[in-house]
């Protein structure tokens, strides 16, 4: 018996020593082979820790993101290293994390020159070879240009204004009958219907419901641990992607076989373009469907959640929108009405700041970069944490409080490096204006038709994308 205990103790001691040794080795070597250049410049690498072997600091990051305070992970390290640029090891990769607004701007502005978009393989598998964030160089510029052109400011006033209002009104008619709704799911469904119509000319039907079902599996996979074993969310998502691509591909064939049937949608415009292969078109459309629906629908839900706990803002919103309604009567809103919604723009900015629907974006350095006397070696993955600036106390007083009035003095945010919810540079979100238009029109119709109350408390988790853990159930009361 004593021998057995001694044996267990020896094994335990050896295991602890081995783990300790691996941990030290990992932190010194950062889990990868280093170039001579890096070894020479070791003193100048950003400070940081790569944490435990394999898991690195993923757990602390995950905890911070899921506990309603996405800045805690950054705050702790900024204090520890006295630097807002530091090294970490997250989800299997060594990364340079940046919470420095000037460096973030520099990274975004130099897309294609010093940096290139680089996301985790599991994400790239889901968006495909030609989903815009997988594409680089000339093809990215071309596809980005097409997206910007399709979603440009002037076009929204014509193509989207009416569509969005009709869809929101018909959806809210249904909500009025239901009275109690799970707002997050309902907003998801509504924006998905809108995108399906705009991209593929699909009206709510059996086919759209089927596509929506597949799309739920597809987006769930984006939010899941990427393990491809039968039955896992990730595996289901890959399957859903295959089926969605097949459906888009069949639509393309159908349209090529029947060119006389006209469609006023994005697919039609891509086919007119003539220079894109079917594979590129399918990935491009699927990515737009994902990018255009995931972030916007979360923004709509969060705007209502923030307003729920800020009755003064609801009152001011209702005044602004009742006044517009009085002038317009039953007529649909026009572009000028949208532009007159001054306080609503403040609510939208504040929702985007506090909601952080794109928490961080990811880049790879394509050359050695020096910043603040630190060397960032070529090949490093850089996590540009947009939320870090949005939630920084020194930039926004009481940064965790919803305060739309903070935007009243200065609504022009185009050159504000502290406010970048849509990224920047060569990959600035092409859906920027559309997302804001959707939010404004939705808020107009919602606050003029309803008063509402939350049914229970809800919490926001920010990993991997912000969502309300209980789906934000609310009770609606129709206004007169």
In the list 73, 357, 396, 407, the residue contacting ligand HEM (rule: CB under 6 A) is 357
Closest CA to 357 of 431, 441, 256, 265: 431
| Residues in CB range of 7: below 8 A, 6 or more apart | none
Helix (H) / strand (E) element for 21: namely: helix 2-29
Choice between 127 and 240, CB closer to ligand HEM? 127
Q: What is the DSSP string of 255-279?
A: HHH-TTS---SHHHHHHHH--S-HH
* Full DSSP string of 73-106: HHHHHHHHHT-SEEEEEETTEEEEEE--HHHHHH
| Min separation Cβ 423 and ligand HEM, Å | 3
Distance in angstroms (rounded) separating the CA atoms of residues 324 and 330: 11
41 with 375: CB under 8 angstroms? yes
User: Cβ closer to ligand HEM: 135 or 181?
Assistant: 135
- 346 assigned ligand-binding residue: no
Applying CB under 6 A, which part among 164-172, 327-335, 369-377, 420-428 lies near ligand HEM? 420-428
Q: Does 431 bind ligand HEM (CB under 6 A)?
A: yes
**Contact pick of 48, 56, 70, 423 for ligand HEM (by CB under 6 A):** 423
Compute the least distance from the CB of residue 288 to ligand HEM, in Å: 5
Least distance (Å) from ligand HEM to the CB of residue 354?
Answer: 12
Least spacing, CB of residue 266 vs ligand HEM, in Å:
9
- When asked if residue 296 is in the footprint of ligand HEM (CB under 6 A), the reply is yes
C-alpha distance from residue 256 to each of 198, 310, 426 (Å): 19, 52, 32
From the CB of 263, what's the least distance to ligand HEM, in Å? 17
Beta strands per DSSP E along 27-164: 85-90, 93-98, 115-117
Cα three-residue angle 207-149-363, rounded to 5 degrees? 90
Q: For residue 407, give every residue at least 6 positions away whose Cβ sits within 8 Å of its Cβ, in sequence order, or none.
A: 345, 346, 349, 350, 413
Told to check if 421 binds ligand HEM by CB under 6 A, we report yes
Report the distance separating Cα 271 and Cα 282, nearest Å. 11
Q: How many residues bind ligand HEM (CB under 6 A)?
A: 25
117 binds ligand HEM (CB under 6 A): yes
CA R_g for the chain? 24
Contact call for residue 434 and ligand HEM (CB under 6 A): yes
Footprint on residues 272-291 left by ligand HEM (CB under 6 A): 288, 291
Tell me which stretch binds ligand HEM (CB under 6 A): 220-228, 240-248, 328-336, 354-362.
Answer: 354-362
Site for ligand HEM in 194-213 (CB under 6 A): none
Residue 455 or residue 465: which is nearer to ligand HEM going by CB? 465
- Could you say which of 74, 97, 267, 299 contacts ligand HEM (CB under 6 A)? 299
CB 200 within 8 A of CB 265: yes
What are the structure tokens assigned to 286, written together? Answer: 């699927």
| β strands within 301-430, DSSP E | 360-365, 369-371, 374-376, 381-385
* Residue 147 touching ligand HEM (CB under 6 A): yes
Return the residue of 61, 130, 422, 446 that touches ligand HEM, per CB under 6 A. 422
Q: Should residue 132 be labelled a site residue for ligand HEM when binding is judged by CB under 6 A? A: yes
For the CB of residue 200, give the shortest distance to ligand HEM in the complex, in Å.
Answer: 13
Applying CB under 6 A, which residues contact ligand HEM? 117, 132-133, 140, 144, 147, 151, 288, 291-292, 295-296, 299, 357-358, 361, 421-423, 427, 429-431, 434-435
Q: Mark the binding-site residues for heme, compressed into ranges.
A: 429
Q: Mark the binding-site residues, compressed into ranges.
A: 429
């Amino acid at each position: 018996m004593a021998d057995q205990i001694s044996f267990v103790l020896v094994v335990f001691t050896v295991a602890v020593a081995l783990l300790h040794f691996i941990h030290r080795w990992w932190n010194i070597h950062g889990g990868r082979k280093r170039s001579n250049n890096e070894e020479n410049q070791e003193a100048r690498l950003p400070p940081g820790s790569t944490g435990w072997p394999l898991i690195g600091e993923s757990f602390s990051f995950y905890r911070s993101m899921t506990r309603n305070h996405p800045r805690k992970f950054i705050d702790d390290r900024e204090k520890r290293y006295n630097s807002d640029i530091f090294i970490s090891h997250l989800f299997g990769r060594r990364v340079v994390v940046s919470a420095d607004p000037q460096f973030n701007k520099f990274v975004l502005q130099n897309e294609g020159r010093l940096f290139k978009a680089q996301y985790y393989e599991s994400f790239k598998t889901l968006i495909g070879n030609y989903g815009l964030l997988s594409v680089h160089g000339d093809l990215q510029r071309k596809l980005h240009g097409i997206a910007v052109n399709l979603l440009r400011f002037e076009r929204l006033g014509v193509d989207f204004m009416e569509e969005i209002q009709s869809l929101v009104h018909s959806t809210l008619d249904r909500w009025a009958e239901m009275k109690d709704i799970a707002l997050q799911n309902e907003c998801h469904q509504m924006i998905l219907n809108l995108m399906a119509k705009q991209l593929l000319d699909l009206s709510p039907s059996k086919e759209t419901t089927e596509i929506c079902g597949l799309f739920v599996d597809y987006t769930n996979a984006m939010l899941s641990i990427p393990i491809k074993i039968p039955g896992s969310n990730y595996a289901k998502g890959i399957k859903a992607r295959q089926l969605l691509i097949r459906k888009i591909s069949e639509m393309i064939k159908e349209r090529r076989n029947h060119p006389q049937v006209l469609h006023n949608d994005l697919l039609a415009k891509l086919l007119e373009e003539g220079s894109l292969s079917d594979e590129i078109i399918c990935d491009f459309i699927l990515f737009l469907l994902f990018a255009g629906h995931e972030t916007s629908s979360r923004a709509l839900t969060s705007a209502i959640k923030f307003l729920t706990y800020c009755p003064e803002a609801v009152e001011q919103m209702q005044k602004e929108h009742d006044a517009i309604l009085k002038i317009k009567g039953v007529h649909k809103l026009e572009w000028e009405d949208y532009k007159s919604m001054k306080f609503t723009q403040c609510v939208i900015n504040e929702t985007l700041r506090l909601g952080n629907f794109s928490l961080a974006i990811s880049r790879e350095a394509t050359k050695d970069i020096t910043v603040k006397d630190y060397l960032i070696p070529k090949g490093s993955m850089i996590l540009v944490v947009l939320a870090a600036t949005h939630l920084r106390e020194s930039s926004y007083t009481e940064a965790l409080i919803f305060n739309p009035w903070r935007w009243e003095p200065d609504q022009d945010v185009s050159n504000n490096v502290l406010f970048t919810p849509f990224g920047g540079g060569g990959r600035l979100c092409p859906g920027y204006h559309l997302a804001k238009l959707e939010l404004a029109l939705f808020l107009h119709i919602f606050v003029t038709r309803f008063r509402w109350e939350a049914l229970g408390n809800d919490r926001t988790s920010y990993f991997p994308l912000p969502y309300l853990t209980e789906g934000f159930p609310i009770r609606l009361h129709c206004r007169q």
